[in-house]
Amino acid sequence: MKPKDARTSSAMSRVRQAKTAPEERVAAVLRELGIAYRRNAKTLPGKPDFANRSKGWAIQVHGCFWHQHDCKRGTLPAHNREAWEAKFARNRARDVEVDEALKKLGLSVLTLWECETRQPTRLKETISDHLTSVALPTTINHRL
């Protein structure tokens, strides 16, 4: 999709694709929790933002605008509306495909939204709770 004007083009050229502020906040929490991870694991479908294949989890950090979260940042631009709608529809469809592919590999997928990363305490709780639930054993050994 080609931007309609120079201002839009300039703004879009400054959008980072890796190591964004929300991703950096998640990385800081993972380090604080002492969790080992790989960033943008190329061997996994969709190159999840964070993953630990041996522990069975992946974390996707979605930008509210680009992935159309239901919050104030998930807006639809007024100019070139049809092209944006098509772009966002492709993004959402790809998100579903990637999540399904990761789950088929046995990974538990946590999707975090950009707006959720702005609350450090809640972010730490969410990540900790998810990774704890992944680590729980699926069978219980009873001692006789």
The tens digit of pLDDT for each residue in 31-87 reads 999 999 999 999 999 999 999 999 999 999 999 998 988 898 888 888 888 988 999
One-letter amino acid for residue 22 of the chain: P
Residue with tokens 């104030």, as numbered in its chain:
72
- Tell me: pLDDT of 141 over 90: no
- Tell me: pLDDT of 107 over 70: yes
Average per-residue pLDDT for the chain: 86
Inter-residue contact 84 to 77 (CB < 8 Å): yes
Note the pLDDT of residue 96.
96
Residue 107 falls in which region: left (phi positive, over 0), alpha (psi -120 to 50) or beta: beta
The C-alpha atoms of residue 7 and residue 67 are separated, in whole angstroms, by 22
User: Within its chain, how far is the Cα of 70 from the centroid?
Assistant: 15
Note the pLDDT of residue 1.
55
The tens digit of pLDDT for each residue in 87-98 reads 999 999 999 999
Q: What is the pTM of this model?
A: 0.82
Inter-residue contact 29 to 123 (CB < 8 Å): yes
The pLDDT confidence band at residue 3, using thresholds 50, 70 and 90, is low
DSSP of 64-119, one letter per residue? TTTTT-SSTT----STTHHHHHHHHHHHHHHHHHHHHHHHHTT-EEEEEEGGGGG-
Burial tier of 124 (Cβ tally within 10 Å: 0-12, 13-18, 19+): middle
